[in-house]
């Protein structure tokens, strides 16, 4: 019942804000749109369509706001008016009352706010889909930024996730391709990351890990977490100064090298994914500043993701294959990872990938759309029963964010030239003597602990009940080995005798 009520609310909001025109905007003839306007003639709107869409997403709640945030980075896929308006969802979501923020802080630390902070600004500096940020000073005078979770978030998100899960179930049942796409697993993966985002202690730990990964980096700076002023609903961190990366004109006026910033963004992404296997999965422009020294400043660490060694190696093989135009390597990587059936013909898969990818190379960044590329690759992969990997959904989302950011900063950036040397250096570090020595050093403590225990473990194994079965098997194996050795020796003797006889006959002749 709750799902039906939520669905009814979504339909009501769409009707209220006149979103029906978006459903028919793709009709080239315009007949459907004219029909919709005729049917809903009694509805008139003074606001532009982009404003109505933004307000509808805000009304529907945090999941829909996040959807709008992702869309706002795809200026190549959206009309300019919609992209500009949805960009306001990144850090201009209507804030909740300051009294609620103060009450949440006092509830978290069980004391008046005047005893928690030396000063606290009641007007927020940023308001996003699940939290808002206020400036404050710690008792020792240190400047800080305080992030406070929106009250009553969990019930709203739970209802929306139930609705998404129901929709995914319908897709699996009603669409032949639904099960292969695994939409319910994708919804569960999204739900896991949303649940993580609602725990600000987890976000604080993410920020601390990312700060450690980029300590003394020339690429990225991450704020310090002040742990004594953190709870599950309140997070206090170092206040960061910088220019929002979306304000390109202001960055140029301050003398920032825009092309270098674009290259840094790509390098930061690949460093997080391949060096650390731990990456910021919500890198839209509202979460990034540029410090006066030209480094990126990361904000909002609620959605972070990690990769297994297998996924990381698979991605590296694919990226290098694309950059080198080695499509056979890409096809074989899919087969080796088990993401296409083992009986797939690699040569056919290779030819299909080449058809999609070859046209995009040797073009500037402005002419390359990862969105279109992913759609075409998906269409090709359907022929080979490719299974969607839910654990990579966040990586794909981040890649799309990086594309939108790079396009906004420096459309002429050559992504391939920028990323290829980094990946080649990383791959070189995974093979050869240096990689062997590093792995040996990593495993040495474990071996030092296990090796002295081997005699005791072997004695325990032989003294246990299974020894009655193990010992006869070992004796049988050794007897078989001795028999083979005797047979081999006899064959050697016979071969030697035959060879000797032939040599004597030849000599006599």
The size of the chain, in residues, is 509
Furthest C-alpha separation in the chain: 118
Nearest to 95 by CA among 134, 67, 136, 137: 134
Let me know: does 384 contact 340? Beta carbons within 8 Å.
yes
Q: Phi first, then psi: give them for residue 48, nearest 5 degrees.
A: -65, 160
**CA 435 from centroid of its chain's CA atoms:** 26
Q: Tokens standing for 480?
A: 């078989």
Which residues have CB under 8 Å from 354's CB, separation 6+? 327
Is the CA virtual torsion 177, 179, 184, 188 positive or negative? negative
Q: Tokens standing for 267?
A: 């390098």
Which residues have CB under 8 Å from 207's CB, separation 6+? 222, 223, 225, 237, 301
First to last CA, the chain: 104
User: Which residues are identified as catalytic?
Assistant: 282
Give the Cα separation of 29 and 66 in Å (integer).
32
At 92 the three-state DSSP class reads: strand
Tokens 């290829």 correspond to 420
Residues in a beta bridge with 305: 279
Which residues have CB under 8 Å from 412's CB, separation 6+? 259, 364, 365, 366
Tokens 């202001």 correspond to 250
Let me know: does 44 contact 7? Beta carbons within 8 Å.
no
Q: What is the DSSP letter of 225?
A: B
Nearest to 410 by CA among 214, 264, 271, 307: 264
Give the Cα separation of 70 and 99 in Å (integer).
31
Rg (CA), the chain: 31
Give the Cα separation of 324 and 321 in Å (integer).
5
Tokens 């919804």 correspond to 187
Torsion of CA 161, 162, 164, 166, to 10 degrees: 160
């Amino acid at each position: 019942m709750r799902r039906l009520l939520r669905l009814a609310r979504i339909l009501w909001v769409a009707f209220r804000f006149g979103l029906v025109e978006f459903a028919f905007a793709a009709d080239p003839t315009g007949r459907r749109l004219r029909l919709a306007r005729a049917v809903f003639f009694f509805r008139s709107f003074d606001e532009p369509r982009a404003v109505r869409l933004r307000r509808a997403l805000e009304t529907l709640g945090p999941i829909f706001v996040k959807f709008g945030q992702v869309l706002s980075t795809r200026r190549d896929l959206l009309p300019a008016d919609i992209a500009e308006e949805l960009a306001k969802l990144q850090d201009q979501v209507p804030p909740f009352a300051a009294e609620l923020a103060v009450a949440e802080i006092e509830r978290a630390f069980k004391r008046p706010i005047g005893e928690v902070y030396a000063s606290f600004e009641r007007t927020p500096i940023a308001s996003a889909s699940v939290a808002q940020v206020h400036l404050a000073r710690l008792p020792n005078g240190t400047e800080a930024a305080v992030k406070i979770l929106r009250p009553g978030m969990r019930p709203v998100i739970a209802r929306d996730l139930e609705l998404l899960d129901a929709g995914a179930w319908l897709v699996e049942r009603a669409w032949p391709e639904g099960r292969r796409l695994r939409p319910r697993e994708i919804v569960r993966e999204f739900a896991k990351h949303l649940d993580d985002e609602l725990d600000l202690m987890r976000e604080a730990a993410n920020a601390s890990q990312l700060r450690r990964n980029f300590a003394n980096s020339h690429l990225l700076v991450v704020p310090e977490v002040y742990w004594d002023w953190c709870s599950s609903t309140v997070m206090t961190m170092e206040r960061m100064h910088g220019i929002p990366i979306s304000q390109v004109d202001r960055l140029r006026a301050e003398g920032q090298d825009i092309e270098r910033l674009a290259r840094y963004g790509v390098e930061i992404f690949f460093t997080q994914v391949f060096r650390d296997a731990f990456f910021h999965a919500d890198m839209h422009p509202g979460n990034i500043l540029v410090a006066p020294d030209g480094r990126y400043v990361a904000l909002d660490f609620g959605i972070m993701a990690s990769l297994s060694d297998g996924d990381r190696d698979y991605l590296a093989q694919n990226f290098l294959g694309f950059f080198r135009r080695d499509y056979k390597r890409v096809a074989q990587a899919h087969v080796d990872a088990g993401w296409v059936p083992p009986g797939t013909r690699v040569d056919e898969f290779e030819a299909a990938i080449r058809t999609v990818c070859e046209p995009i190379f040797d073009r500037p960044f402005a002419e390359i759309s990862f969105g279109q590329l992913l759609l075409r690759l998906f269409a090709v992969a359907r022929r080979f029963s490719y299974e969607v990997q839910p654990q990579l959904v966040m990586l794909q989302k981040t890649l799309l964010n990086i594309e939108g950011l790079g396009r906004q900063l420096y459309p002429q950036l050559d992504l391939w030239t920028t990323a290829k040397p980094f990946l080649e250096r990383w791959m070189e570090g995974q093979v050869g003597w240096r990689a062997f020595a590093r792995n040996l050093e990593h495993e040495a403590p474990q071996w030092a602990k296990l090796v002295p225990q081997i005699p005791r473990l072997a004695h325990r194994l032989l003294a246990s009940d299974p020894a009655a079965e193990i010992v006869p098997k070992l004796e049988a194996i050794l007897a078989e080995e001795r028999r083979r050795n005797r047979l081999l020796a006899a064959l050697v003797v016979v071969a030697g005798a035959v060879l000797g006889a032939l040599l004597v006959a030849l000599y006599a002749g």
